[in-house]
Amino acid sequence: MADRPYLALAAAQVRSQASYRLSFWLDMAGNLVVLSADLLALLVMFQVTDDLGGFTRPQVLVMFGITAVAFSLADLAVGNIERIRVYVRTGTLDTVLVRPLGVLGQLLAVDFSIRRLSRIVYGSVILGVALHLAGISWTPGKVLLLAVALVSGALFFSAVFVATATVAFWWIESGELGNIVTYGGRDFTSYPLPIYGAWFRRLFGFVLGLGFISYYPALVLLGEPDPVGLPAWTGWAAPLTGPLAAVVAALIWRTGVRHYRSTGS
């Protein structure tokens, strides 16, 4: 199997992280704590109001849950690509480039951090509870759509992670700029689209495609019409954006790697 070297690298990472056991479990717990801040903030909002943009608490929680699972999956798989800034600045990317393996794959495997697994568990619990509370009339099609939407969402977020990290090839000190679309994108998709202003919604929801991750699949699951006005089949077509984004991100990544100039020291 062609991926075996990557798996070996990732497994080595997992073993090394698990060797400091207390630290490992503390990190797992800490990840949960940080994540629950978002959930608590959402719940506090619903203390004050009964609906957000025309959606009830369980309905918003479904969107929140889909986003949480998709984002956690992407974060587990490629979240550490953010560290590429360090590699570019220090020039250690050279060592990765000379190896007879894919650059992206190596970086992901080397920085794989298993402790983010707890976030996926956490997101799944939220999603499960939300789906239960929302009282959805399940059909086989909807189950399939949910599964595909989660995978597609994870793909989409991964693409966003990779694409924003590529900026480091041109602008090393880009700082938190990438957070706009990664963590900002997560927050954006956690809430229903109609609450946003028209230009903001169009820019982030449709041009960047963040609206298709959780909002439209959730609409289909909940059986609600779209207040924004797109036809009902949008939800069924939404998962297509995931692979599309992945292709775009791959192109950007290739361009970026070709533009890599080492530090020269």
* Residues of the shown chain interacting with other proteins in the complex, contacts defined by CB under 8 A: 23, 26-27, 30-31, 33-34, 36-37, 40-41, 44-45, 47-53, 171, 173-177, 179-180, 184, 187-188, 191, 195-197, 200
Nearer to other proteins, 7 or 34 (CB): 34
Q: Return the DSSP state at 196.
A: S
| CB contact at 8 A, 153 and 213 | yes
Nearer to other proteins, 41 or 247 (CB): 41
Q: Is 233 left (phi over 0), alpha (psi -120 to 50) or beta?
A: alpha
Smallest separation (angstroms) from other proteins to the CB of 145: 26
| CB contact at 8 A, 221 and 62 | yes
Nearer to other proteins, 125 or 203 (CB): 203
Smallest separation (angstroms) from other proteins to the CB of 121: 17
Smallest separation (angstroms) from other proteins to the CB of 173: 4
Tell me the C-alpha distance between 65 and 47, whole Å: 19
| CB contact at 8 A, 111 and 80 | yes
Smallest separation (angstroms) from other proteins to the CB of 175: 4
Nearer to other proteins, 5 or 194 (CB): 194
- Amino acid occupying residue 170: W
| CB contact at 8 A, 245 and 159 | yes
Nearer to other proteins, 53 or 243 (CB): 53
Nearer to other proteins, 25 or 233 (CB): 25
Number of residues in the chain: 265
Q: For residues 143-180, b (16+ Cβ closer than 10 Å) or e, as one string?
A: eebbebbbbbbbbbbbbbbbbbbbbbbeeeeeeeebee
Smallest separation (angstroms) from other proteins to the CB of 44: 5
Nearer to other proteins, 6 or 212 (CB): 212
Smallest separation (angstroms) from other proteins to the CB of 180: 4
- Amino acid occupying residue 203: L
| CB contact at 8 A, 105 and 36 | no
Smallest separation (angstroms) from other proteins to the CB of 164: 11
Is 261 exposed, middle or buried (CB count within 10 Å of its CB: 0-12, 13-18, 19+)? Answer: exposed
